[in-house]
Structure 1
């Protein structure tokens, strides 16, 4: 006897009352007649599905085992199409076709596979890294290891290579807590790429939300991805998945029919002209429709339950909260996630925008959602490029963009700060190119973002000019040190750990080649930067984390904060308009540990008078030098041109709490006038 739930293909073990077999169930209210098709080599069997319940077609077939290929056939405008199960847990091969797509070609596409969820997790627990301690590393499964000669335990570019001892050693040495993988769900390449015999390398064109892409497997994508996750967990490293639920690979009104368009036209947002395109990809999923919401929620739960995924980064997440042309903070999707006990412990990171009306929603996602902070990226890039007028905004970004994300809502609303993301310049290219160079994408350099806020330091592209190379390295250190010593969750790009260049391509979505594959040939300069980065992440954990914890929640106003000019005077309102140098002084309680961050935006050195708070400061970092030689500093610091310095001193043991609160209140009140607006 078949059942409507759960949807998809679900194996049933034999018992005294039930035979062994598989229950197939698919939501298809727009299909009057639907057949299940089972494939065995070149032969196939078809079964008419007679059982229906609330738009769900379901059938039980005995003697089915894992690995069985299947699909659903339906007559659409007089032609017999084979449709892929939206709940497919695996596919038979990497999907590909030669445009245009047709009913005949649908029968030669990748088939869904029946899977067995049995896997030995060996009682390895999830790392469960606190938000404030999280260091994100964004990478592409294949691009991360394809050219790494140190990979020995697995095929380069594969799921299992992610957990190769060489990769795990690197991640641990770098201090990475969480790997954020670009989409690994089965991807179908856009028609214009297929015509060029190209691919969507990034994977932002989802065909099956629950099935891992076989492009990165040698035999069994399901088992190999689970194995990689287990071994990363065993070594204390979380796995965050980048997921695409805002649109599907079916494209616009004239796009191909893979499943959802035929099964239920209400899966997508529509208007009188057809499909709404708030994603730039031709369609937008309508999560106010119950079936769409179910598909997304079931997919998320499946990744957590069956793959032990630690969290998700949601591509163009504003679409998920849409009610037509408007974004709704109380959207059904947000409520569904918030009440789900499986999803509640996971990390949820939103890209808080799409390209539709009312599409920019930074800071408007509900509690429990962290958000990618593009304001941090743009402001910090502009500041270190030397642009004027960013001092106050720069200070606000360092303090966690609190006008967007109040410290009272930390850590669950800590912003995800970043300098570089997959969809833009790498860090190396950010300091090497003034303009994008995307001609390899085949669109005459029209694609990609034009507002990069980059600076080539004097020469466009690769150079052997020693002075320019040194300046670029210093700029990289300025950007990364600002990222690591700001309030928020740091997001790093894997390419930046090896100083990888994409040749100025800031939209390498279709480059499955050396443009996107990380170059692991480390010269002395690259190795020095990688070693420096490891030390700086360790310094963040040692010196910055206590301040993030202290400035979080109800006790955040019990601590000290002051802003200084280079002459040692507390900054006044007019100073924010014309100063090029800035000092941020942070202190715990009245006499606890202290940090002093010094910034010089111009090329001229500055003699910075330090605050009159003995004892002597200890130097943590000076970006003018690659080396972290210890140094004790007293009342002045010679701040090099275009550089940043981090100084630290340990405080005296805390005294009676009751006396501290009163004293801290006085200090806080006194310091308010010295802070840029909205930075508190």
Structure 2
């Protein structure tokens, strides 16, 4: 029999000591807590121990002789009163919220629910007594891991170029990655992947959720899988499918190899909700441990959840222990695994109080003051579905934000929409209207044209309607307003003119993204022409629809992206550390100047001319000895004659032209240039 001792209430989870393992679980409203030990595979319960010590709501014990590899779970006793928010049911085995590694899969069965499924409208008020252990994943005790060996690159924000991708989808179809490691952290850290990222000039990889997540029962019943992973089951454990033979060590090893190449790793994290869903969802962890502490419940009706996320529930980050759990999880990934930053899904929910979103929420302050997290790259997705959910530009200094307005305006501009010049110029210049207060910097705006949620770049220029039939929802899911243009034909075509138009539009969109102030984010696969067949919501396509198709290699487009990133990284005018204001520098040159077709400064009337679709912008360098840049944008469906504006020294040389007509040519101030229909030209000053 295992010898149980009082142990300590800190740290939470399972922690190996010199004599055994300490276990600690927070449940402020429990009456009794039991620790269940299992065999190595989690199939058979070998011992059940009553935890009698409780300090400040933390139940704890120390088991002598128990060490690395031990498999365990919790059972928590307490009141069954769903009308009051209490849903304790000791018949349900519960996963430790601090579990570091999972054993076994979640196997859907009605016994996973704390109530009898199908027993009527008020079934969730009745307690179900069936044991759920055989269907539950369990936690494994792990030893503290070594930190990554290579120092973090700590790339400066102005020179950051983000590449958003899915860990599994990035390599499942990569012909140069060994088949036995595809889809894992080891594949991410493989030479072919790193070489590709370096060729593109990428400085940071942003990965869709890698924390352990549950498969949605409705998807399993349809023969599909949750691919994206926004359904968290464990905040401290990696998704088991992403680990190979090397186990947990593979994470730090992959991060280490990327760091050696100067590439940072950013994780997309989901702390706004969990996989337990609404009041009719399963009882897997937090719900059964202490429902009223971990979740936001509806005021006056605690039977139901405050569904701010559209996923059934929302974590209660106002509770100090929940806030602590989020912070502990972030620190684990940032220290043990060496991660450089985080992108927070539905981040508005994280800042919610009873009366709405609060940019001064304690969680935001906790992150910024933390000696580890305060140096990390912190990116917020600034919305949820609750009242006042769209909070773009309202997060506190120290946080960057996904700029959805940038995406929409840039897409509309290149489809030829009218009246967009003022909005386009503002977004192109890092959106100081949104981020200019509170001494924030241009890198507060994370710019993107495409992301995992929506069309790929190839599909953006190939489809005007979504084609999500494979999702099994009769094409009702996904965005209906994609602001896309198919260039004259829906989907695949052999029309030479349509294909040429699509190729140029892709170059226009990529060039705009990488020439804009702020931080650019590329969607993985856009640089090779990856398509999802018009599916703009591939969340359940863990297959060839969702995976990057490396057989579609568009070498010319890849080289074009590499040229753009090289230009951005070399030229200080394209990634300034301060917002553009038009103020003159010590040489009397304004940091930015906007011109019309006649080389004169834009007037208010010209800015507001509805049919105007052409703009010229001159950018002064931010560093002495660097060159000025001149960017001509023509979104009209016909060529436009432009004049080179005054200023600069000597001549201008065209270094990039999406119409592939002017590169290498030189012009002086006052000379004319024909900007082809739907094209972008970049010029550098030459002495």
| CA contact 2:348–2:391 (8 Å) conserved in 1 | yes
Specify whether residues 347 and 413 from structure 1 end up closer, same or farther in structure 2 by C-alpha distance, changes over 3 A only. same
Query: CA offset at residue 266 of structure 1?
Result: 2.2
Q: How many residues align?
A: 640
665, 668, 671: which one aligns with 1:631: 665
Indicate the residue corresponding to 1:642 in structure 2: 678
Q: C-alpha separation between the residues in 1 aligned to 2:11 and 2:254?
A: 27
Alignment of 1:279-678 (within 5 A): 279-406=309-436, 409-411=439-441, 413-523=443-553, 526-543=554-571, 545-549=572-576, 551-552=578-579, 558=585, 559-578=590-609, 579-588=612-621, 593-613=627-647, 614-625=649-660, 629-634=663-668, 635-650=671-686
Q: Structure 1, unaligned stretches of length 5 or more? A: 14-19, 652-680
| CA contact 1:131–1:411 (8 Å) conserved in 2 | no
Indicate the residue corresponding to 1:211 in structure 2: 237
Query: CA offset at residue 35 of structure 1?
Result: 0.8
Alignment of 1:43-82 (within 5 A): 43-75=45-77, 80-82=91-93
Indicate the residue corresponding to 1:663 in structure 2: none
Indicate the residue corresponding to 2:177 in structure 1: 151
Structure 1 residue matching 2:336: 3-state secondary structure: helix
Q: C-alpha separation between the residues in 1 aligned to 2:558 and 2:581?
A: 37
| CA contact 2:21–2:63 (8 Å) conserved in 1 | yes
Specify whether residues 386 and 100 from structure 1 end up closer, same or farther in structure 2 by C-alpha distance, changes over 3 A only. farther
**1:565-623 deviation line (CA, Å, top 9, x unaligned):** 11222211111122221111122489973211111111111111111335110112111
Query: CA offset at residue 548 of structure 1?
Result: 3.0
| CA contact 2:92–2:112 (8 Å) conserved in 1 | no
Structure 1 residue matching 2:98: 3-state secondary structure: coil
- TM-score normalised by L of structure 2: 0.90
113, 125, 140: which one aligns with 1:113: 140
Specify whether residues 147 and 346 from structure 1 end up closer, same or farther in structure 2 by C-alpha distance, changes over 3 A only. same
Q: C-alpha separation between the residues in 1 aligned to 2:186 and 2:108?
A: 27
Query: CA offset at residue 532 of structure 1?
Result: 1.2
Q: C-alpha separation between the residues in 1 aligned to 2:559 and 2:272?
A: 39
Residue 160 in 1 paired to residue 186 in 2?
A: yes
Q: C-alpha separation between the residues in 2 aligned to 1:467 and 1:347?
A: 43
Q: C-alpha separation between the residues in 2 aligned to 1:93 and 1:107?
A: 10
Query: CA offset at residue 198 of structure 1?
Result: 2.4
Specify whether residues 607 and 540 from structure 1 end up closer, same or farther in structure 2 by C-alpha distance, changes over 3 A only. same
**1:483-506 deviation line (CA, Å, top 9, x unaligned):** 111100000000212211011111
**1:322-368 deviation line (CA, Å, top 9, x unaligned):** 00241001111111112211111100000011110011111111111
Structure 1 residue matching 2:35: 3-state secondary structure: strand
Residue 95 in 1 paired to residue 113 in 2?
A: no
Question: Larger deviation: 123-132 or 546-555?
Answer: 546-555
Query: CA offset at residue 631 of structure 1?
Result: 2.5
Indicate the residue corresponding to 2:219 in structure 1: 193
**1:620-660 deviation line (CA, Å, top 9, x unaligned):** 211112x9942222322110001111111156xxxxxxxxx
Structure 2 residue matching 1:81: 3-state secondary structure: coil
Question: Larger deviation: 239-248 or 437-446?
Answer: 437-446
Indicate the residue corresponding to 1:11 in structure 2: 16
Query: CA offset at residue 221 of structure 1?
Result: 3.8
Specify whether residues 550 and 144 from structure 1 end up closer, same or farther in structure 2 by C-alpha distance, changes over 3 A only. closer
Specify whether residues 460 and 98 from structure 1 end up closer, same or farther in structure 2 by C-alpha distance, changes over 3 A only. farther
Q: C-alpha separation between the residues in 1 aligned to 2:239 and 2:401?
A: 26
190, 195, 199: which one aligns with 1:173: 199
Indicate the residue corresponding to 2:3 in structure 1: none
Specify whether residues 408 and 611 from structure 1 end up closer, same or farther in structure 2 by C-alpha distance, changes over 3 A only. farther
Q: C-alpha separation between the residues in 1 aligned to 2:102 and 2:502?
A: 45
| CA contact 1:213–1:221 (8 Å) conserved in 2 | no
Question: Larger deviation: 319-328 or 192-201?
Answer: 192-201
Structure 2 residue matching 1:184: 3-state secondary structure: coil
Q: C-alpha separation between the residues in 2 aligned to 1:499 and 1:561?
A: 33
Structure 2 residue matching 1:47: 3-state secondary structure: strand
Residue 223 in 1 paired to residue 249 in 2?
A: yes
Query: CA offset at residue 44 of structure 1?
Result: 1.4
Specify whether residues 415 and 556 from structure 1 end up closer, same or farther in structure 2 by C-alpha distance, changes over 3 A only. farther
Q: Structure 2, unaligned stretches of length 5 or more? A: 1-5, 81-88, 114-129
Specify whether residues 628 and 607 from structure 1 end up closer, same or farther in structure 2 by C-alpha distance, changes over 3 A only. closer
